[in-house]
């Protein structure tokens, strides 16, 4: 597995899992948030964003984490393995609140340096509504490609720990 895509709601653990897998598998990590958000949380224009995603996905090795549903098909097309973190909204909200406190007036390691950690109402609502708005679309996409791609769906922290433990003992999938 040289190209791993990690999907899930905000706060589901995508960036943390990406970094853990990178350490185990020695693959480079691309945190999409770092490239999508320009200074002061200005989004990248669509055409520029499409090119950035295309450039990353054509590399030989990567772990890419992030949602960005408009470019999800491009990432899926190039991925060998897709990991979907299907966590509860309560866990996701807890983690987002926790990281807001941890990175108060700082920038998270997976973000553009010019974007200090924040939590606004729109992001809170996005996480709150993720399961009813986006989850089934993602599950349906994954169901359609299950015979072409390796897919792992993790539903809780225990399953994530078990995957990490298995990879640490075997050094691969």
Distance (Å, rounded) from C-alpha 31 to C-alpha 19?
9
**For residue 161, what pLDDT band results from cuts at 50, 70 and 90?**
very high
What is the average pLDDT across 94-104? Answer: 84
**Tally of structural domains, the chain:** 1
What is the average pLDDT across 117-140? Answer: 91
Q: Is residue 147 predicted with pLDDT exceeding 90?
A: yes
- 45-48's contacts with Cβ under 8 Å and 24+ in sequence apart are 46/70
Residue % of the chain over a pLDDT of 70:
98
- Per-residue pLDDT, 32: 96
Distance (Å, rounded) from C-alpha 160 to C-alpha 38?
31
Q: At 117, which CATH number?
A: 3.40.50.300
pLDDT 10s digits, 23-66:
999 999 999 999 999 988 999 999 999 999 999 999 999 999 99
pLDDT 10s digits, 1-23:
899 999 999 999 999 999 999 99
CB 91 within 8 A of CB 104: no
Q: Which of 46-60, 71-85, 89-103 has the lowest mean pLDDT?
A: 89-103
The pTM for the full model equals 0.92
**For residue 109, what pLDDT band results from cuts at 50, 70 and 90?**
confident
Q: Which residues lie closer than 8 Å to 70 by C-beta, 6 or more apart?
A: 46, 49
Domain that holds residue 50: 3-170
- Per-residue pLDDT, 129: 96
């Amino acid at each position: 597995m040289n190209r791993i895509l990690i999907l899930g709601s905000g706060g589901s653990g995508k960036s943390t899992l990406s970094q853990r897998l990178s350490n185990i598998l020695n693959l480079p990590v691309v945190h999409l948030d770092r490239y999508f958000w320009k200074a002061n949380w200005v989004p990248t224009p669509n055409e520029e964003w499409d090119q950035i995603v295309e450039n990353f996905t054509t590399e030989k090795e990567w772990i890419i984490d992030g949602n960005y549903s408009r470019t999800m098909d491009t990432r899926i097309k190039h991925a060998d393995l897709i990991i979907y973190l299907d966590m509860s909204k309560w866990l996701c909200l807890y983690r987002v609140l926790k990281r807001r406190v941890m990175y108060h007036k700082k920038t998270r390691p997976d973000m553009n340096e010019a974007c200090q950690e924040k939590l606004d109402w729109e992001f809170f609502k996005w996480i709150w509504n993720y399961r009813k708005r986006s989850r089934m679309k993602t599950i349906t996409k994954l169901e359609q490609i299950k015979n072409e791609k390796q897919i792992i769906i993790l539903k809780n922290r225990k399953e994530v720990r078990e995957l990490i433990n298995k990879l640490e003992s075997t050094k691969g999938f």
